[in-house]
């Protein structure tokens, strides 16, 4: 009957389904970028505070994706977070590279940014990045801002009152402090277009 | 009926069946001999089609038995029942052709499902069966493209595709024009002889069925009201058969549906 | 008073019996799936009828849902200055929720009703009885192949819906409104995960495929073999399939995404 035509139609249908799946999969989590090139090496970095960094977050140099965060552990001796970074073999960084935890956009995820140093020796597999900068925690930032604000309006009465005010304001994001903190918060996040 | 030393192919004894609390058959007995055309007649709703479905195993009786070639249908499971059905062919009232298949594919259906015959042989067999019912030229048409009478003939070709031993006909003459009537009656008789099969004909068409049947049962009120050869029944004095054969409007099968007195309904005093 | 309790009991009885019948049908149908899997041509034909014939409505609906998501998403996100996340919003909504659920609802309406009507009419025309009398099990020959085809077709349709929806969102967001194209795709790249989002979405559409196809076949099989019977059965298919899909969606979402 119309056997051949039905075969063709059903075949195309299933292929379209797989194509859609492939399309979605390639759009998801850098699948294409990394699984196609399986030559990678691992380095570690210790942070005081990783903020919202998650495993599989990207590692970027000059904003370009060069690897991903493989694992995040907690070092019970030094009470620091240890992030294992999986870097693409094609990219090598100097031994004194610094790692910073940055945020991409206001709603974006956090990633590890690598700032190269000047050391002629390159990082090898298993090396540790010594210079790190922790993630920015919004509450600490607000606290700092208020503290410095209070220190500026310097009077003994204000001085003694300020530490109390700043320590009270720091732990929580109370509404009044948020309205004063807004200008300070903007530089930390990406400015809206 | 059958010769004395021959066991009937189908034996129905004491068959009782009810449909939604309404008794349809009350301990009815019927026998169908090898190679005979037997007509089961009666008024509409008398349970004739039910008997057919009980023979085919599509319904289970509440009492009594159906024995086909010495095997009772009661205790059979689905696979065994299917094995028995492979020896049967059934012609449904309006053909019941598969509307998504062509005429050819409809007749080929039982061959493809139950045999491993190569396509070439199936092709020839299907055309032979269609030729037997006079529709070989219509094999490429679809059921929606043929008339009701033709559809029934295709269904007949499908029913005999596996050369069954038993052929069941559910009202094969219903709604046919005079030409198709005698055509169908002839086909039933010829096929029965050619296949050496036993045909059970459920109908209320007196003239055509009397012409081809070897034996006739009349069913009324869930029991056999009368039975005999067509010639015997034509001259019987039994009022039930007489009403049927003479097509009289009133008699043992009443004209009026049971009702209170007419004057009472109209509200007039008699 | 007694009458009210009696009728309540009768109502419960009816529904429990119906549930039991449905369950038995489901089990009987599943038991015939292995033999149906061997009849590849039957399944292939059914995938064609169920899948290919639903393509038009699925693709067009997906496109329009994508358009709307693009528009609405843009307006909502712009209040937070996060228009660049539009791609992520569109992609995640579609892949996780809208793709599987909307596809299932449309599928219930288009393919579900045609399955119900087909089976109901086959019963009305005594085709099922004829098949049984020819010693061919209608469950294996008619019902199971359609079930397998439906379960295969549904996830494919959902994937196509999501993909077309994302493209629709891209068209409206980037081409018409002016969101940055690079941001659109990279946000998806960064935020859409393979197992959590796409995988769970596919599991959902697989489960919906089972539910809707089963309901459609069951309603057709036990419809009264009359015109009104078949008509009522098709309505029941759409209603109960839709409600089941929405209920299952809540359950599955809670299971999969409930934690975080």
Ranges of each domain in chain A? 1-33, 37-133, 138-188
| Positive or negative torsion for Cα B47, B49, B52, B57 | negative
Q: To the nearest whole percent, how much of chain A has pLDDT over 90?
A: 11
Q: What is the DSSP letter of B41?
A: E
| Contact indicator for A118, A65 with CB cutoff of 8 Å | no
Q: What is the DSSP letter of C95?
A: I
Q: Which residue numbers in chain C have pLDDT < 70?
A: 259-260
The burial of B267, by beta-carbon neighbours within 10 Å (0-12 exposed, 13-18 middle, 19 or more buried), is given as exposed
Counting the structural domains of chain C, the total is 1
C134/B contact by beta carbon, under 8 A: yes
Distance from CA of A188 to the nearest CA of C (A): 15
Strand ranges across the sheet with A128-129: A128-129, A40-47, A80-88, A64-75, A58-61, A110-115, A98-103, A131-133
User: C99-107 vs C55-78: helix axis angle to the nearest 10?
Assistant: 140
| Contact indicator for C168, C67 with CB cutoff of 8 Å | yes
- Token reading at C116: 């119900």
- Least CB–CB distance from C95: residue in A13, A24, A105: A24
| Positive or negative torsion for Cα B199, B146, B181, B47 | positive
Q: Picking from A5-9, A52-56, C90-94, C225-229, which range would have the lowest pLDDT averaged per residue?
A: A52-56
C185/A contact by beta carbon, under 8 A: yes
Choose from C45, C130, C141 for mutation: most chain B CBs within 10 A. Answer: C130
Of C57, C43, C82, C108, nearest in space to C180 by CA: C82
Q: Which residues pair with A47 in a beta bridge?
A: A81
Cα–Cα distance for residue pair B92/B168, rounded to 1 Å: 8
pLDDT value of position B74:
82
Mean pLDDT, rounded, for A135-142: 80
Task: Name every chain C residue with its beta carbon within 8 A of the beta carbon of B109.
Answer: 134, 136
C41/B contact by beta carbon, under 8 A: no
CB contact under 8 A, B96 and C141: no
Cα–Cα distance for residue pair A16/A19, rounded to 1 Å: 5
Cα–Cα distance for residue pair C38/C49, rounded to 1 Å: 19
pLDDT value of position B159:
93
C260/A contact by beta carbon, under 8 A: no
pLDDT value of position A60:
87
The ranges of chain B annotated as CATH 3.40.50.300 are 7-87+165-175+196-250
Nearest residue in chain B measured CA to CA from C45: B100
- Looking only at the bridges linking them, the beta strands covering B22-32 and B223-228 are unpaired
Nearest residue in chain A measured CA to CA from C85: A107
Of A59, A7, A1, nearest in space to A33 by CA: A59
- Least CB–CB distance from A17: residue in C84, C95, C159: C159
Choose from C133, C136, C139, C145 for mutation: most chain B CBs within 10 A. Answer: C133
Using alpha carbons, list the distances in angstroms from residue A54 to A70, A81, A110, C190, C197.
Answer: 9, 12, 8, 12, 16
pTM of the model: 0.77
Residue at token pair 């419809």:
C223
Using only the alpha carbons of chain A, give its radius of gyration.
Answer: 24
Q: What three-state secondary structure class fits B217? A: strand
Task: Name every chain C residue with its beta carbon within 8 A of the beta carbon of A192.
Answer: 81-83
Distance from CA of C4 to the nearest CA of A (A): 53
- Least CB–CB distance from B114: residue in C126, C131, C135: C135
C45/A contact by beta carbon, under 8 A: yes
pLDDT value of position C211:
96
pLDDT value of position A170:
43
Task: Name every chain A residue with its beta carbon within 8 A of the beta carbon of C95.
Answer: 24
Helices (H), chain C: 2-38, 40-50, 55-78, 86-92, 99-107, 113-124, 127-133, 138, 144-170, 181-191, 200-221, 227-257
Task: Name every chain C residue with its beta carbon within 8 A of the beta carbon of B155.
Answer: 130
Assign domain B7-87+165-175+196-250 to its CATH superfamily. Answer: P-loop containing nucleotide triphosphate hydrolases (3.40.50.300)
- Token reading at B245: 């054969």
- Looking only at the bridges linking them, the beta strands covering B71-72 and B63-68 are antiparallel
| Contact indicator for B199, B169 with CB cutoff of 8 Å | yes
CB contact under 8 A, C81 and A17: no
The ipTM, to two decimals, is: 0.84
- Least CB–CB distance from C81: residue in A7, A106, A108: A106
Q: What is the DSSP letter of A122?
A: B
Task: Name every chain A residue with its beta carbon within 8 A of the beta carbon of C191.
Answer: 109
Distance from CA of A122 to the nearest CA of C (A): 28
pLDDT value of position B14:
85
pLDDT value of position B167:
94
- DSSP-assigned letters across all residues of A53-101: --TT-EEEETTEEEEEEEEEEEETTTTEEEEEEEEETT---BTT-EEEE
Q: Which residue numbers in chain B have pLDDT < 50?
A: 1-5
- Least CB–CB distance from B92: residue in C130, C136, C141: C130
| Contact indicator for B107, B126 with CB cutoff of 8 Å | yes
Distance from CA of C227 to the nearest CA of A (A): 31
Distance from CA of C166 to the nearest CA of A (A): 9
Using only the alpha carbons of chain B, give its radius of gyration.
Answer: 20
Distance from CA of C33 to the nearest CA of B (A): 17
Task: Name every chain C residue with its beta carbon within 8 A of the beta carbon of A16.
Answer: 156, 160
- Least CB–CB distance from A25: residue in C48, C185, C194: C194
Is it the case that residue A183 has pLDDT exceeding 70?
no
Host domain of residue C173:
2-257
B67/C contact by beta carbon, under 8 A: no
pLDDT value of position A178:
41
Is it the case that residue A179 has pLDDT exceeding 50?
no
Cα–Cα distance for residue pair C165/C106, rounded to 1 Å: 15
B39 CB neighbour count, 10 Å cutoff: 27
Distance from CA of B86 to the nearest CA of C (A): 6
The burial of A38, by beta-carbon neighbours within 10 Å (0-12 exposed, 13-18 middle, 19 or more buried), is given as exposed
pLDDT value of position A38:
67
| Contact indicator for A99, A151 with CB cutoff of 8 Å | no
């Amino acid at each position: 009957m119309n056997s051949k035509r039905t075969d063709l139609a059903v075949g195309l249908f299933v292929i379209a389904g797989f194509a859609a799946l492939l399309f979605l999969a390639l759009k998801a989590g850098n699948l294409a970028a990394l699984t196609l090139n399986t030559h990678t090496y691992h380095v570690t970095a210790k942070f005081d505070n990783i903020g919202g960094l998650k495993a599989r977050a990207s590692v970027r140099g000059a904003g370009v994706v060069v690897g991903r965060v493989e694992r995040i552990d907690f070092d019970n001796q030094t009470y620091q977070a240890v992030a294992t970074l999986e870097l693409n073999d094609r990219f090598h960084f100097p031994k004194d590279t610094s790692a910073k935890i940055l945020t991409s956009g206001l709603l974006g995820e956090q990633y590890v940014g690598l700032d190269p140093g000047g050391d002629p020796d390159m990082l090898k597999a298993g090396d540790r990045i010594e210079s790190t900068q922790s993630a920015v925690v919004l509450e600490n930032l607000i606290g700092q801002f208020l503290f410095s604000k209070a220190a500026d309006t310097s009077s003994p009465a204000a001085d003694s009152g300020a530490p109390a005010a700043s320590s009270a304001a720091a732990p929580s994001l109370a509404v009044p402090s948020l309205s004063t903190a807004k200008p300070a918060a903007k530089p930390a996040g990406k400015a809206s277009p | 009926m059958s010769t004395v030393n021959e066991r009937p192919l189908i034996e129905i004894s004491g068959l009782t069946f009810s449909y939604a609390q309404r008794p349809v058959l009350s301990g009815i007995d019927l026998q169908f001999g090898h190679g005979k055309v037997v007509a089961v007649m009666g008024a509409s709703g008398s349970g004739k089609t039910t008997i057919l479905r009980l023979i085919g195993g599509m319904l289970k009786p509440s009492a009594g038995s159906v024995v086909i070639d010495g095997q009772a249908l009661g205790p059979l499971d689905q696979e065994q029942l299917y094995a028995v059905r492979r020896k049967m062919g059934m012609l449904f009232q309006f053909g019941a052709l598969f509307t998504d298949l062509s005429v050819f594919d409809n007749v080929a259906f039982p061959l493809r499902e139950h045999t491993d015959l190569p396509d070439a042989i199936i092709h020839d067999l299907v055309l032979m069966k269609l030729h037997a019912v006079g529709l070989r030229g219509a094999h490429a048409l679809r059921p929606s493209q043929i008339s009701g009478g033709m559809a029934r003939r295709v269904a007949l070709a499908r029913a005999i595709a596996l050369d069954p031993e038993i052929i069941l006909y559910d009202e094969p003459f219903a709604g046919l024009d005079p030409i198709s009537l005698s055509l169908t009656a002839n086909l039933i008789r010829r096929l029965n002889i050619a296949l050496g099969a036993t045909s059970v004909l459920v109908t209320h068409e007196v003239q055509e069925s009397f012409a081809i049947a070897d034996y006739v049962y009349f069913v009324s009120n869930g029991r056999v009201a009368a039975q005999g050869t067509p010639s015997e029944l034509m001259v019987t004095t039994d009022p039930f058969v007489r009403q049927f054969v003479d097509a009289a409007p009133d008699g043992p099968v009443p004209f009026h549906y049971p009702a209170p007195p007419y004057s009472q309904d109209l509200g007039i005093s008699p | 008073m007694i009458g009210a309790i009696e009728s309540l009991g009768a109502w419960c009885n009816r529904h429990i019996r119906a549930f039991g019948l449905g369950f038995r049908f489901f089990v009987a149908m599943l038991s015939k799936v292995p033999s149906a899997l061997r009849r590849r041509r039957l399944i292939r034909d059914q995938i064609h009828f169920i899948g290919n014939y639903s393509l038009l409505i699925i693709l067009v609906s997906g496109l329009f849902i994508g358009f709307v998501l693009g528009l609405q998403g843009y307006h909502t996100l712009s209040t937070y200055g996060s228009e660049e996340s539009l791609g992520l919003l569109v992609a995640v909504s579609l892949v996780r929720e809208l793709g599987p659920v909307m596809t299932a609802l449309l599928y219930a309406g288009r393919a579900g009703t045609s399955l119900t009507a087909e089976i109901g009419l086959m019963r009305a025309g005594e085709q099922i009885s004829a098949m049984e009398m020819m010693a061919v099990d209608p469950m294996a020959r008619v019902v199971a192949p359609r079930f397998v085809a439906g379960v295969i077709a549904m996830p494919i349709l959902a994937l196509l819906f999501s993909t077309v929806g994302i493209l629709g969102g891209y068209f409206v967001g980037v081409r018409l409104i002016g969101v940055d194209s690079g941001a659109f795709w990279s946000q998806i790249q960064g935020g859409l995960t393979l197992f959590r989002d796409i995988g769970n979405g596919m599991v959902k559409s697989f489960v919906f495929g089972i539910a809707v196809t089963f309901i459609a076949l069951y309603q057709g099989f036990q419809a009264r073999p009359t015109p009104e019977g078949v008509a009522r059965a098709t309505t029941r298919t759409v209603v109960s399939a839709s409600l089941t899909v929405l209920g299952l969606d809540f359950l599955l979402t809670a299971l999969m995404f409930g934690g975080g």
